[in-house]
Structures are given as C-alpha cells and as structure tokens.
C-alpha cells in the first residue's frame, strides 16, 4: 500500500561541509517533532547516485526530494516548512516575492556561506540519537 503524501518523509540533501547548512539541519532536527524529515549530505554516495545526470556537479543549494522529483533553493526551503506544518507555515508568506528574487537572494547567501558561517573539514556525522533520520 502506497503511503499518502502526508505520511511521506521528505529527504533533505544538504552541504555537509557548510556551517549554515548544518545549522539549518540542527534546527530541523529540533522542530521535526512528528518525524517527517530525513537528511543526507549531498556528498553522500546515495545522493551522488540519485542526482547523477539530473543536476550539475557544483550544487549551491539545499535539495528536497519528493519521490523521484526534487526542489532546489527557495522552493526547497518552502517545501520543508510546508511539510512540517503548524506555525512554521508562516514562512510561506514570503512567497509573495517573485521566484527570481527569492532564488537571487538564496544564491547571494550561498555564495558567501563558507566565509560567513564556516566550512567543516569533513561532513557532519549524526549523533546516535539522530542516526535514524539520516540516510
């Protein structure tokens, strides 16, 4: 029996070296009280295999996978908060801005993320408690 879309886990691919991305994942781990999210560093072999031929090699975006489809940049972030529901949906109000503006701002932050938030020597390793949420 196929799970309904409300039961499906979103898979969030992120830059495992990026301080900003890891901070976002830490936030999501704290607020995902209904266990709706799964995480995978974009540098992971499973991520590399899934995205081979679908996106370029130089990814400066969080990616959200829904089944075989994926969302990037601002739309990926919106999908995460939409999926979490509750009070987090207030973030969706900023969708009034055109996609080009939202993604332009996203690209601006992405281009500066290592300088401002730092870059790790290696990918994030989940704690024992977090392992069930990571691919």
Angle at 113 between CA 77 and CA 43, to 5 degrees: 70
Q: 41 in helix, strand or coil?
A: strand
pLDDT in the model for residue 100: 95
Give me the residue spans of the domains in the chain: 10-123
Q: Is 3 exposed, middle or buried (0-12, 13-18, 19+ CB in 10 A)?
A: exposed
From residue 123, give the alpha-carbon distance in Å to each of 5, 28, 49, 114, 119: 30, 17, 17, 14, 10
Output helix, strand, coil percentages for the chain, rounded to the nearest 5: 50, 15, 35
Closest CA to 73 of 105, 44, 49, 48: 105
Could you read off the pLDDT of 92-133 as tens digits, one per residue?
888 899 999 999 999 999 999 999 999 988 787 888 888 999
pLDDT in the model for residue 56: 59
pLDDT in the model for residue 55: 67
Higher pLDDT, 50 or 2: 50
Q: How far apart are alpha carbons 77 and 38 in whole angstroms?
A: 14
Q: What is the pTM of this model?
A: 0.84
Could you read off the pLDDT of 23-82 as tens digits, one per residue?
999 999 999 989 999 999 888 887 777 777 676 555 678 899 887 788 999 999 999 999
Q: How far apart are alpha carbons 20 and 130 in whole angstroms?
A: 18
Whether the per-residue pLDDT at 134 is higher than 90: the answer is: yes
Closest CA to 16 of 102, 116, 134: 134
pLDDT in the model for residue 46: 77
């Amino acid at each position: 029996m196929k799970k309904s879309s409300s039961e499906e886990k979103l898979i969030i691919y992120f830059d495992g070296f990026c301080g900003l991305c890891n901070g976002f994942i830490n936030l999501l781990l704290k607020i995902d009280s209904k266990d709706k999210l799964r995480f995978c560093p974009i540098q992971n072999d499973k991520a590399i295999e899934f995205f081979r031929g679908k996106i370029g090699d130089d990814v400066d975006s969080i990616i959200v996978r829904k089944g075989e489809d994926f969302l990037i940049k601002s739309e990926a972030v919106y999908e995460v908060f939409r999926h979490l529901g509750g009070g987090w949906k207030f973030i969706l109000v900023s969708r009034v801005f055109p996609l080009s503006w939202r993604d332009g701002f996203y690209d601006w932050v992405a281009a500066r993320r290592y300088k401002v938030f730092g870059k790790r020597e290696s990918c994030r390793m989940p704690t024992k408690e977090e392992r069930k949420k990571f691919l």
